[in-house]
Amino acid sequence: MIPKLTSKLPKLETSIFSKMSQMATETGAINLSQGFPDFGVDPGLIKLMQQSLEGSFNQYAPMGGIFSLREAIAEKTSRLYGASYHPETEITLTAGATQAIYTAIASTVYAGDEVIIFKPAYDCYEPTVKAHGGIPVLLQLEGPEFKINWEAFSMALSPRTRMVIINTPHNPSGTILKETDLKKLEEILRPTNILVLSDEVYEHLVFDGNTHESACKYPGLKERSFICASFGKTFHITGWKMGYCLAPSSLMEEFRKLHEFVVFSVNHPAQRALKVYLEEPSHYEGLGAFFQKKRDLFLEAVRGSRFRYTPAEGTYFQLLEYSGISEESDLSFAEYLTRERGIASIPISVFNLERQDNRQLRFCFAKTEETLKRAGEILCRL
């Protein structure tokens, strides 16, 4: 007799990313839905990986990651943000940023704890909170600028609030939190014991002269924050599933208690390759300009269309608003574009509170020039 289970996530739907990517595959549509590049990886990084595979680095890495890579991450973080993390006790390599996010929540959120999540939000936050008995408290970002209403945030705090999740640069909107936002969050949380989970996987993809405001730049946030980062997003190697987490030693101690039994350790040869690759800062410092050029090319390609937009401030996603073209729901319109017009995108309502539909679609511009121009031609014909 097959045992009957009560699902921890009974209402969980198939990911919109899986849904739209599958539809793109079935129809042969240009896939601007899922966030991955369609261009190659730096041959220099591939060579480093090959050298690692050919060396003696094919067995388990240390549980927290190889020390030399943790040192390199600490040096990068100090140079960019002026924040100090001890490589031994405050940095852990993870199987992508999603595992870092999962483990940070799993190690600190208990049944009945409240976790504040700003909507629209990346789709892994809420299920992870719910799976560990937490209660998501959802706050909608406001207006076309996707701003946090700090008064509403303050009112949402309660004695049961365990954690706040922030994401900058923000997926799916492409906006960034400013210095005033981080200082306000620091001020509000100062008298509390509330934790912060800061999802910063697009930290190097910031445009138009803006800077990335990491939580670790603010002492009152750094002392309570798990900061999750991604080598996959940074170096176009999403399939390697390599990320890391920064946190004060007291938080990292709890993080590692679960990390050890979730994955124990992560890709050893990749760690060796990334350690050497990080020694050259230009490998990540030039990414903002690299992706801004792609953003601008994509926006130029759709300039003659009937879509409306505000240029993305960061990430490699651009929102396009289509109310001048169709009154269909964003999900229906995204499906139409994929099946009938040959271009796949992501409808934003699936990330919003109560599926609020503002007729917006998210397009990934981490693509070749040829792909972006072809996409623009399709969108200009609508």
Confidence of residue 99 (pLDDT cuts 50, 70, 90): very high
Q: What is the mean pLDDT of residues 202-208?
A: 97
Mean pLDDT of the chain: 96
What percent of the chain stands above pLDDT 90? 92
Residue 144 in this model has a pLDDT that exceeds 90: no
Residue 178 in this model has a pLDDT that exceeds 90: yes
Catalogue all structural domains in the chain, each as residue range(s) with its CATH number: 16-35+285-380 (3.90.1150.10), 43-279 (3.40.640.10)
**pTM beyond cutoff 0.85:** yes
Greater model confidence, 12 or 80: 80
Instruction: Give the Cα separation of 137 and 209 in Å (integer).
Output: 34
Q: Which long-range contacts (CB under 8 A, 24 or more apart) does 49-53 make?
A: 49/269, 49/270, 49/273, 51/273, 52/268, 52/269, 52/270, 52/272, 52/273, 53/269
Q: What is the mean pLDDT of residues 146-151?
A: 97
Enter the tokens of residue 203: 């930290």
Instruction: Give the Cα separation of 255 and 378 in Å (integer).
Output: 46
Instruction: Give the Cα separation of 34 and 57 in Å (integer).
Output: 32
Q: Which residues contact 15 (CB under 8 A, 6 or more apart)?
A: 123
pLDDT digits (tens, 9 = 90+) for 214-241: 999 999 999 999 999 999 999 999 999 9
Confidence of residue 6 (pLDDT cuts 50, 70, 90): confident
